[in-house]
A = this chain, B = another copy of it.
Amino acid sequence: MNSPMDQSAIERRFDEFLRTESLKMTPQRRRIFEKAFEVHDHFSVERMYEWLKGEDGPAVSRATVYRTLEVLERGGFIEAVETGRGEVVYEHVLGHEHHDHMICVMCKRIEEFQDEEIEALQRKNAERLGFVMTGHMLRLSGICGDCADELREDGRLEEEVARLR
């Protein structure tokens, strides 16, 4: 699946963003940025660090990964997704519609979904509470089809679901 916006267009935006913030384009930033848009998957700081370490190119330290992801987030290029218990992964944003996440507690697979009805109800509740809503995070957790099948074969699905609920 390709993004509706191609790599070079996104890169131009990044250049632009750096310029407006008087930040500099460095090989490290470029590597991190490109990797973030090349993968169509969620990644942690550690994962990004390992990816870059395993490939050719200028070395990138953990500190720089932290610092750069912060810049990318501030610029709206990536977004942090809390997967639970303090764990954070990132996903690139440009060319993607807003969406929420459904995470498999067994294999950690992350599915995305959108539901305008839910969004509308969120806004309604915020308003009722007298808040100006600026953001939200909705995360569903459960057992994905594949993992459920495996458990079902062993007759352990009910048990697991009960334990998790």
Contacts and interface: CB of A to CB of B under 8 A. Distances in A.
Contacts of A131: 102, 104, 111, 140, 142-145, 148
Interface centre among A85, A111, A121, A131 (most CB of B within 10 A): A131
Nearest to A140: B136
A25 interface: no
Interface string A121-165: 110011011111111111111111100100000000100010011
Contacts of A139: 136-138
A159 to B, nearest CB: 12
Given A104-B131, A115-B125, A126-B102, A138 B138 contact: yes
A133 B142 contact: yes
Nearest to A111: B129
A54 interface: no
A130 B117 contact: no
Contacts of A121: 115, 117-118, 121
A105 interface: yes
B145 A130 contact: yes
Given A135-B164, A141-B134, A129 B113 contact: yes
Given A84-B137, A113-B128, 4 more contacts: A113-B125, A115-B125, A132-B142, A135-B142
20 contacts: A82-B85, A86-B88, A104-B131, A111-B129, A115-B125, A118-B125, A121-B121, A122-B140, A130-B144, A131-B144, A132-B142, A133-B142, A134-B165, A135-B164, A135-B165, A136-B139, A136-B141, A137-B137, A137-B141, A138-B139
